[in-house]
Amino acid sequence: MNMFQKWNHLSIRMKLFSGFLAIVLTGGIGMLILNVQLLNVVRNSEEVTNQSVPKLVTQLQVKSMIMERINFVMLYVTTGNEDFVRKFDEASGRAAQIEKKLLDGASPQEKSAVEQFIYHSEDWEFLLRDRVIPVYQLGNKKDAISTLNTEAQPIAVKLMNEVEKLSQRKSAELYDIYQDAIANAWSAVKLSYVVIGVILLLAIYFALYLSRMMTHPVLFLLHGVRKMTKGDFTARVDVKTGMNLGNSEMLLIK
C-alpha cells in the first residue's frame, strides 16, 4: 500500500491532525531558518562593529592629543608657566600609548598609513621638544614662537589631516558594514514572506481538500436521493471506502 492509499484510509481526525502538524512543522522550520539568519546578521555586525568602533575612537583620541600637546607648548611660550611643560610631557606619554594602540589594532591595509603617521608625529614632537621649548628656555621667546607658528603648527595640521583620512576610511567601513547588515536583514524578511506564503498556501490547499473530501460524498448521496424522489428506484450510490469519524462511520461515495 503506497502513501496515497494509506492517506485515503486514515480517519478524518488523523487527516486533520496530520495536515495541521505538517503546516506547523513547515512554519516552525521556516521560522527557525529565519531566526538563524537574523542571528547571523546580528552576530556578524556586532563582531565587525566591536572591532571597528574602538579603532575609530582611538583615531579620534590621537587627533585630540595633537591639539593638546601643541596647546600646552603654546601656553608655555606665551606665559612661561613650567606646569605646561610638565603637562606637555604627560600628554606625550599618553599620545605614545594611544599611537601604539592604534598601530596594534590597525588592519593590514591600514598599517602602512599608521606607521607613516607615527613617524611624522615623532618628528613633530621632536620639533616641539628640541627646537621650541629649549629656545624659549634660553630666553629667545621670539624665535620659539616663530618656529611654533611657521613650522610646528602647519605640521600639526597635516598630522590631523592624516588622522582624519584614517577616520574617514573607518567611518566608510562602518557604513558599509551597516549597509550589508540592512541588506541581509531585508533578505531575511523576504525569506519570512516566502515562508508565510507557503504556510498560507498549504493551509488553503488543506482546507479545500478537506472541504471536498467531506462534502463530495454528501453531494453524490443527495443526487441519488433526488433520483429516488422522482421515482427512479433503480438509482444506486456506490460506496468507495469507509472512513472512521471519531466513534461513528462516514461513507465516502463516488
Give pLDDT tens digits along the chain (254 positions): 566 666 666 666 676 677 777 777 777 777 777 777 667 766 666 666 666 666 767 778 888 899 999 999 999 999 999 999 999 999 999 999 988 888 887 778 788 888 988 999 999 999 999 999 999 999 999 999 999 999 999 999 999 888 888 777 777 777 777 777 777 777 777 777 787 787 778 777 777 776 676 666 666 677 777 777 777 666 666 555 444 444 434 443 33
Q: Where are the beta strands (DSSP E) in 170-246?
A: 239-245
| Residue-level pLDDT at 252 | 39
Q: What is the DSSP string of 56-76?
A: HHHHHHHHHHHHHHHHHHHHH
Task: Name residues whose C-beta falls within 8 Å of residue 133's C-beta, 6 or more positions apart in sequence.
Answer: 73, 76, 77, 85, 88, 144
**pLDDT value of residue 69:** 93
- Which residue reads 572591532 in cell numbers? 51
Helix (H, G, I), strand (E, B) or coil at 249: strand
CA distance 55 to 97: 14
Give the whole-angstrom CA distance, residue 50 versus residue 38. 18
pLDDT at 50: 62
How far does CA 251 lie from the centroid of its chain? 57
d(CA 73, CA 120): 18
Q: What are the grid coordinates assigned to 161, written together? A: 589631516
Contact of 188 with 34, CB cutoff 8 Å: yes
Q: For the chain, how far is it from start to end, CA to CA, in angstroms?
A: 21
Q: Burial-class residue 52 by CB neighbours within 10 Å (0-12, 13-18, 19+).
A: middle
How far are the Cα atoms of 5, 10, 12, 202, 251 from residue 2, in angstroms, in the given order? 5, 13, 18, 22, 22
Pick the CATH number of 41-193 from 3.30.160, 1.10.3470, 1.10.287, 1.20.120: 1.20.120
pLDDT at 169: 77
Q: What is the pLDDT of residue 135?
A: 93
- Residue from 195, 73, 48, 199 nearest 128 by CA: 73
Residue 120 CA, chain-centre distance (Å), reads 37
